[in-house]
Amino acid sequence: MSDLWWLVLLLFGLAIALLLLSMRERRKSGLPQAQVVYADTDLWQRVPETLVDHQLGLVGKPDYVMKTRQGSLIPVEVKTGHTPDAPYDSHKLQLMAYGLLIRSNYAQTPAYGLLHYPDKDFRVDFTPDLEAQLTETLEEMRQIESKKVVPARSHNSSARCRSCGYRGVCDQKII
Ligand code: SF4
């Protein structure tokens, strides 16, 4: 067999391996297939690099970005732990932030994002209201940071504290 054929076979094998790997990643995430296709290669893909918006002071990386058949990019965030009846506000704001990061990094504005909890998926529309809430929250965070004062806990939910990434350092957590 000629070298060219070996090369073709090698590339074919590599493509199959990548396809299987990507399918395994998707199965692990449990993400839905409906109405979406994957970026470029029709596969679910993780975002290769952290997205940055210097103007908004945002840095982040959604778990996945999907491309719809119409070419729109959709951020997807996977959440573990308890599945709520409705998505938490903080998760919606996080997803909205990814929407803005996609807008500034890929020059297109996603209409919505997906929050994937263990037992249910939620579509979160990126409304002007949600964007305004995020802008307000970011401003509050900047003010808190500049004053170096830790704000008082704004809820009484032990479930929220249990799934919070700051519980290890937070002295207001509910056990
Ligand atoms: S652990 Fe602290 S920061 Fe996290 S939700 Fe509870 S009170 Fe808020």
DSSP 3-state of 102: helix
State the maximum Cα–Cα separation within the chain, in Å, rounded to a whole number.
72
Residue 158 has pLDDT above 60, yes or no: yes
Mean pLDDT of 123-135: 95
Q: How confident is the model at residue 1 (pLDDT cuts 50, 70, 90)?
A: low
Helix or strand holding residue 145 (H, E): helix 128-147
Does the pLDDT value for residue 56 go beyond 80?
Answer: yes
163 lines ligand 1 (CB under 6 A): no
What's the pLDDT at 130? Answer: 96
pLDDT digits (tens, 9 = 90+) for 74-109: 999 988 888 999 999 989 999 999 999 999 998 889
Best residue among 150, 170, 175 to mutate for probing ligand 1, ranked by most atoms within 8 Å of CB: 170
Query: Would you state the pLDDT for residue 34?
Result: 38
pTM given for the model: 0.65
In this predicted structure, what is the pLDDT of residue 129?
96
Residue-level pLDDT at 27? 55
Q: Report the alpha-carbon distance of residue 65 to residue 51 in Å, rounded.
A: 12
Q: What are the helix (H) ranges across 30-127?
A: 39-42, 89-106
CB 134 within 8 A of CB 96: yes
Token code pair at residue 104: 């500034």
Cβ of 132 below 6 Å from ligand 1: no
pLDDT at 39 over 80: no
What residue ranges do the domains of the chain occupy? 31-154
pLDDT at 126: 97
Average pLDDT of the chain is 79
Torsion angle, alpha carbons of 92, 93, 98, 103, to 10 = 110
